[in-house]
Amino acid sequence: MAERLPIWARISLGSPLEIVFVSMGILVVSEVLERLSVPAPQFLLGMLAGAVIALRGRAPRRLSNNLDQGVQGLIGVMIGAYLQVSVLREAIGAMLPLTLLTLVTTVLSLGIALMVARTGTMDRITATLGMIAGGSAAVTSSAKDLGADSRVVAFMQFTRVALISATAPLVSVIIAEPQAAASGADGASAAGGWTWSVVPRGDQLAGVCVALVLATAGTRLARRIGLPSPALLGGMLLSGLVTALGLTHGYSPTGPFKHMLMVLVGLEVGLRFDRGTIKALSRMIPLILGAILLLSGVIGLIAIGLASTLGVSRTDAYLATTPGGINAVLASASATHAHLGLVSSVQTLRLFLMVLLLPAVQSWLSRKTAQHTSQ
C-alpha cells in the first residue's frame, strides 16, 4: 500500500484554491519575519514553499502563464508609481551626478558578471541578470522571458538585497559625519506595521481598478509595439507616465497586495527548482557572495568619495547609490535623518534605468554569445 503523504506534501498548486491557501499561509508567517527585520520575507518564503512543492512532486509544476504575466504587469505598475516629479525636483542639484553613477554600476555589474561566467558556473545572461543592481523582483520575474535561469537569478538578486538591507543601517552610521551621527542617534525608526490598505488612497476599490487597468493596458501596448518583457515594461512605462503627469495617484500595490505579488513571484521561481539546481547553488555561494561584496564595496567607496564634491553628506551619497534594497535604504535614510528626497530620487531613477536597460543588455549578450559560438 502506497505511503499516504500529509496534506502539505500533497499540495501541487494545480488549482487556484491551492494557490490562495499556500499564499495566505506564507503571508501570515512573513508578517512575523518582517517584524524581525528579515528582508523580503514574502519572496523568500514563497520561493522556499515553491521549491519544497517542486521537490516533493512527481511532475513539474508552474503557475499559469496568465497569472505570471499579470504579476509582472502589476510589479511594473508598482515601479512606475515611484516616478514622482515633485520629489525629483527636490534634489535636482546632486541628483544628476549621483544618477550617472548608475551607469558605472551597470558597467561594473556587466564586468563582474562576465568574470563570474568565465568560471563556467553559469551562462552570461544568467550571471548578468543576477548581478544587475536594481529592481530585484522585476529582474527575477522577467528572467525566464530573457533566456536566463530564473532560479539562479533569484538567488543572486535576493542575496544582494539581503546583504544591503542588513548592512545599510550600520554602514550609514559608521560613515556619517560626527554631527550627523549624533543627531541621527535620537531619530525614530521608520519601521512600518501591518496595514489592511492595499493601495495608498481612501477609495481602495478605485485604486485597485486603476492598477489593474494600467497593468493590462500597458501589457497590450507593449506587445503591440514589440517591447521585450511586455508585461513588466509596459506596466512600468504607462504607470510612470501617469504618475509623472499627475493624472491619478494612490494606485501602487502596497500592504497585503504588494506582499501577495512578492509571494507569487517567489512561488513561480521556487517551482522551477530541482535537486541538481540546489547542488549547483550550494557550490556557487562563495563566488556569488564575493561578486556582490565587490560590487557593493566599489560603488560605496565611489559615492563616499564624491560626497564632498557634490556638497552632500557621506551618508546621503552612500544611501542614494547602494546597488539595491530600495525599501530598506529608505527606512535607513529616515532613521538617520538623511536627505529623503535625494535618496528616493536617485534610487527611483536607478531603478527605472536598470529595468529599461535589461532588454539592451540581453540583446548585447545574445550577440556576443552568437559571435563566440560561430568562431
Rounded to an integer, the average pLDDT of 24-33 is 87
Question: For residue 246, is pLDDT > 80?
Answer: yes
- Average pLDDT taken over every residue of the chain: 77
Give pLDDT, residue 216. 95
Q: Given a cut of 50, is residue 112 above it in pLDDT?
A: yes
pLDDT for 349 equals 75
| Between 184 and 84, residue with greater pLDDT | 84
Residue 347 reports pLDDT greater than 80: no
- What percent of the chain is modeled with pLDDT above 90? 7
Give domain limits for the chain.
Answer: 12-178+196-374
Q: Lowest mean pLDDT: which of 48-57, 85-94, 199-208, 351-360?
A: 85-94
Q: Which phi and psi angles does 197 have, rounded to 5°?
A: -70, 135
Q: 34 pLDDT band (50/70/90 cuts)?
A: confident
* Structure confidence at residue 1 (pLDDT): 42
pTM assigned to the model? 0.67
**Most confidently predicted of 41-55, 205-219, 351-365:** 205-219
Q: What is the pLDDT of residues 4-23, one digit of tens each?
A: 544 444 555 556 777 778 88
Question: Nearest 5°: phi and psi at 37?
Answer: 65, 30
Q: Which residues are CB-contacts of 281 (< 8 A; sequence separation ≥ 6)? A: 151, 152, 155
Mean pLDDT for 249-271 is 85
Q: What is the pLDDT of residue 72?
A: 85
185-212, pLDDT tens digit by residue? 333 333 445 567 888 888 899 999 999 9
Q: Mean pLDDT over residues 265-275, rounded? A: 77
Residue 50 grid coordinates:
515553491
254 has a pLDDT exceeding 70: yes
Q: Which three cell numbers stand for residue 119?
A: 568560471
* Banded pLDDT at 64 (limits 50, 70, 90): confident
Give the pLDDT score at 74: 92
Q: Which has the higher per-residue pLDDT, 28 or 9? A: 28
Give whichever of 95-104, 180-189, 208-217 has the largest mean pLDDT. 208-217
Q: Tens of pLDDT along 276-293? A: 777 777 888 888 889 888
Task: Determine which of 101-110, 111-120, 135-144, 247-256 has the lowest per-residue pLDDT on average.
Answer: 135-144
Q: Is pLDDT larger for residue 210 or for residue 150?
A: 210
Mean pLDDT (whole number) for 17-42: 81
Q: What is the mean pLDDT of residues 313-329?
A: 78
